[in-house]
Amino acid sequence: MTLKTESEAGARRRAVRDILIYGVCGGLLIAVLKLTEYRFLVVEHSVEIYGGLIAALFAGLGIWLGLTLTRKKPEVIIKEVEVPAGGPFVVDQARVSKLGITPRELEILGLIAGGLSNREIAARLFVSENTVKTHSSRVFDKLGAKRRTQAVQLGKEFGLIP
């Protein structure tokens, strides 16, 4: 929403600026024409040089015009990207209480799933490593897991961790 509004305002501002530029260029054009005409009358340059100058000038102007005209409508390609943005994760409390898993144990299970070692978990929770080990041992027992990777797998299956 904010981006959209900003974009529209920017486009309008750019349009106004372009109109001003066009006007100025028109004035410059007339002035250049007059100047070149006088020059032509005075110094008697050849017609080819005069025409070539005007041709080059207006070719450049036209190219610039065409560029600025088409630059304003870029082709928007909408690409659908699958994002695992499923609903926000909610813990299956029924399963938690059925397995008798305490909040602390669930928290540590989550950190294990996050790939942290026992030492890192201990540091993050400001407890000793032994405490983390007892919690993890308990939660492994309750989940029926023999390894922490298996505990992670079961925890995800049971809806205990995202």
Binding site for a copy of itself (CB under 8 A): 29, 33, 36-37, 40, 47-48, 50-52, 54-71, 74-87, 112-117, 145-154
Nearest to 95 by CA among 155, 135, 48: 155
Contact call for residue 135 and DNA (CB under 7 A): yes
Of the candidate residues 140, 155, 160, 161, the single one contacting DNA (CB under 7 A):
140
CB 33 within 8 A of CB 40: no
Contact call for residue 161 and DNA (CB under 7 A): no
CB of 19 to a copy of itself, least distance (A): 15
Q: Which does 50 bind (CB under 5 to 8 A by kind): a copy of itself, DNA, none?
A: a copy of itself
> Left, alpha or beta for 159 (phi > 0: left; psi -120 to 50: alpha)?
left
Spatial CB neighbours of 132, under 8 Å, sequence gap ≥ 6: 108, 118, 121, 122, 125
Binding-site size for DNA (CB under 7 A) equals: 25
CB of 1 to DNA, least distance (A): 13
Spatial CB neighbours of 111, under 8 Å, sequence gap ≥ 6: 120, 121, 124, 125
Q: Which does 55 bind (CB under 5 to 8 A by kind): DNA, a copy of itself, none?
A: a copy of itself
CB of 114 to DNA, least distance (A): 12
Contact call for residue 105 and DNA (CB under 7 A): yes
CA distance 106 to 113: 10
What is the per-residue binding string for DNA in 111-130, x denoting contact by CB under 7 A? ------xxx-----x-xx-x
CA distance 119 to 130: 9
